[in-house]
Amino acid sequence: MKDKLLDYSYKYGALAVIAIVIAAFSLVNENFLSYDNMADILRSISIVTFVAIGVTFSQIVDGFDLSVGATVSLTTVVVATLMVWFQLPLIVVLIVPLLIGIVVGLLNALLIVKVRIPDLLATLAVMYIIGGVHKTYTKGFSIYNNMQMTDGTKAPGKFDPSYLWIGQGKLLGVPVPVLIMIIAVILVHIFLTYTRWGRQMYVTGGNREAARLSGISVNRVRTFAYVLSGIFAAVGGILFAARVGSGQIDAGAPILMEAVAAVFVGYSVLGAGKPNVIGTFFGAVLIGVLLNGLTMLNMPYYAFDIIKGAVLVMALAITFIHLNRRRT
């Protein structure tokens, strides 16, 4: 009986918590369940979801990418400067950050796969490098329309309205970033579940030696996972800048912990027991609902980290208790 209860709590616990939290906040505030507020929650988690999908890819191959938050910060200020400082076309503004994400992913893969530095240490080092690069690049300033430059002049450009539409616009009444997020979750789920590359990633993460003996190019698969992590973090940076209409130098710092929490909450969604994009999405929903509800209750912003940390501890506890039970 106890084992069945634990299994049910593992499979459906995260979904039950989301339902309970939504019910509790809706009782306290009648506006919580309004369409506009639900849309705001989904819009806010779209950025976290993209970053968390990147972390999910690294987790699938038994790695961990701590550099995703710094990548968000770097790409956010880069897209802002491309418009505000250099007035470049929208296509360039969208392509350059994706290339940056690929470079960051390749750098992580070089250190982890070739040099064989442990993933946590390698991505931690890259996180600091990226942090220094983007603050040096902007001289520590956030980027905004016609900003004052250090030489006393004003920046010539502004954010392109077409670009801002990506983060602030609506399509058929649904926020554009929400649509992009849903499409991404569906496509990644199909990729991981039904394609050869997706299955190879799971096999590689489950048993690297067995994967190698079965003919899988383990190093190539792991490199691919870190490149995907960098790309999805870069998309998160693009969406962040489009949503707020400026380039914030520390945009990615709080997103890292939210993304990691979402990934580990996702382990237990429907009893997956492994990194998966559907679970990651529901983990992001839980984080978004909690933060939105606490904001509506006028909880001080500096208390939010306590909630994020508590959710992460809960997710880790549930996941590893279940995994240890399965091993024994």
User: In Å, what is the CA distance from 273 to each residue of 240, 268, 320, 326?
Assistant: 30, 6, 9, 10
The structure's pTM equals 0.93
Mean pLDDT across the chain:
90
Q: Which of 12, 7, 14, 10 shows the shortest CA–CA distance to 282?
A: 14
- Report the pLDDT value the prediction gives residue 4, as an integer from 0 to 100: 67
Once rounded to an integer, what is the mean pLDDT over residues 167-190?
95
Is the pLDDT reported for residue 81 higher than 90?
Answer: yes
Q: Residue for token digits 């940056």?
A: 100
pLDDT digits (tens, 9 = 90+) for 10-32: 677 777 878 888 888 898 888 88
Once rounded to an integer, what is the mean pLDDT over residues 262-273?
78
For residue 198, the domain's CATH number is 1.10.3470
Q: What range defines the domain where residue 161 resides?
A: 2-327
How far apart CA 37 and CA 109 sit, in angstroms, is: 40
How far apart CA 28 and CA 266 sit, in angstroms, is: 27
| pLDDT category of residue 1 using cuts at 50, 70 and 90 | low
Contact 284, 184 (CB under 8 A): no
User: In Å, what is the CA distance from 168 to each residue of 126, 238, 241, 245?
Assistant: 31, 12, 10, 9
pLDDT digits (tens, 9 = 90+) for 220-246: 999 999 999 999 999 999 999 999 999
- Report the pLDDT value the prediction gives residue 322, as an integer from 0 to 100: 65
Q: Which two tokens stand for residue 224?
A: 């691919």
- Report the pLDDT value the prediction gives residue 270, as an integer from 0 to 100: 66
- Report the pLDDT value the prediction gives residue 25, as an integer from 0 to 100: 87
- Report the pLDDT value the prediction gives residue 114, as an integer from 0 to 100: 95
Number of domains in the chain: 1
How far apart CA 59 and CA 280 sit, in angstroms, is: 11
Once rounded to an integer, what is the mean pLDDT over residues 177-198?
96
Contact 242, 168 (CB under 8 A): yes
Q: Which of 324, 297, 305 shows the shortest CA–CA distance to 261?
A: 305
- Report the pLDDT value the prediction gives residue 67, as an integer from 0 to 100: 97
Contact 116, 59 (CB under 8 A): no
Q: Which residues does 155 contact at the CB level (< 8 Å), separation at least 6?
A: 84, 85, 143, 145, 146, 147, 148, 149
